[in-house]
């Protein structure tokens, strides 16, 4: 959380550079157990996610993707060694809150243009989630997706935010690799509250497939319903 905001979350004492401690336990069918533990022999390299902010959104540059990074044959000769750091203080415990999962996918209800020329995508209702893109275009073309719950007077998405986030609010950017095929992407580190999406930079020549190229995923927490509302009449 490094996005400057009115609540000063970006200066909170629990906010620091990310560190990782990994323990992978592999249990084989014959009962043998292997443990893969992170240490100073691990390597790293910059990836395609240039920005991820739970409120601001994400920037993903597909030109920097390393598709084979999880395979044994990955060429990591130019990767750097990781640096050992002290982790957060206190006892390491498992996450107690319920995870977020995709529970529903929605297709666009209506697609129009704003007065400024942006594409405005309307979905059936307000939810928490994100938009998945499937698009083809030239290398370096950037598709910008901004999320909001209502429209402004010009027909665009109302992008005002009450947190005064200095690095943007609920906006994703997808930079195409220009592979010649359809490139698919969805944010991995954030979700947004919205019903309307404003899209800029959509590559030309793909208008006939625009509806099929957008999908919204809804992601509430995985808590089971604890009750229901009952309406009584007298």
At 55-87, the pLDDT tens digits run: 889 999 999 998 888 888 888 889 999 999 888
Percentage with pLDDT > 70 across the chain: 85
At 115-173, the pLDDT tens digits run: 999 999 999 889 889 999 999 999 999 999 999 999 998 899 998 776 777 778 899 99
| 178: region left, alpha or beta (phi > 0 left; psi from -120 to 50 alpha) | left
Which residues make Cβ contacts (< 8 Å) with residue 133, sequence separation at least 6?
Answer: 143, 145, 174, 183, 184, 185, 186, 213, 214
Predicted TM-score of the model (pTM):
0.83
Highest mean pLDDT among 9-18, 93-102, 149-158: 149-158
Q: For residue 150, give Cα distances in angstroms to 49, 108, 123, 210, 214.
A: 28, 15, 11, 21, 19
DSSP result, 15-56: --------EEEEE-TTS-EEEEE--TT-EE---SEEEEETTT
């Amino acid at each position: 959380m490094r996005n400057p905001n009115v609540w000063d979350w970006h200066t909170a004492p629990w906010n620091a550079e990310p560190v990782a401690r990994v323990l992978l336990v592999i249990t084989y069918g014959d009962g043998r157990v292997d443990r893969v533990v992170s240490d100073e022999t691990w390597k790293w390299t910059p990836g395609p996610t240039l920005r991820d902010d739970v409120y601001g959104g994400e920037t993903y540059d597909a030109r920097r993707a390393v598709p084979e990074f999880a395979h044994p044959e990955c060429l990591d000769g130019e990767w750097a060694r990781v640096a050992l750091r002290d982790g957060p203080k206190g006892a390491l415990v498992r996450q107690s809150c319920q995870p977020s999962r995709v529970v529903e996918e929605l297709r666009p209800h209506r697609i129009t243009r704003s007065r400024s020329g942006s594409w405005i995508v309307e979905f059936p209702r307000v939810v928490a989630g994100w938009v998945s893109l499937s698009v083809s275009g030239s290398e370096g073309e950037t598709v910008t997706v901004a999320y909001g719950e209502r429209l402004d007077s010009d027909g665009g998405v109302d992008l005002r935010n009450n947190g005064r986030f200095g690095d943007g609010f609920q906006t994703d950017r997808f930079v195409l690799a220009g592979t010649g095929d359809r490139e698919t992407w969805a944010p991995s580190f954030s979700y947004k509250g919205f019903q309307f999406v404003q899209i800029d930079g959509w590559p030309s020549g793909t208008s006939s497939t625009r509806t099929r190229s957008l999908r919204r995923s809804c992601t509430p927490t995985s808590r089971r319903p604890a009750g229901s509302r009952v309406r009584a009449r007298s």
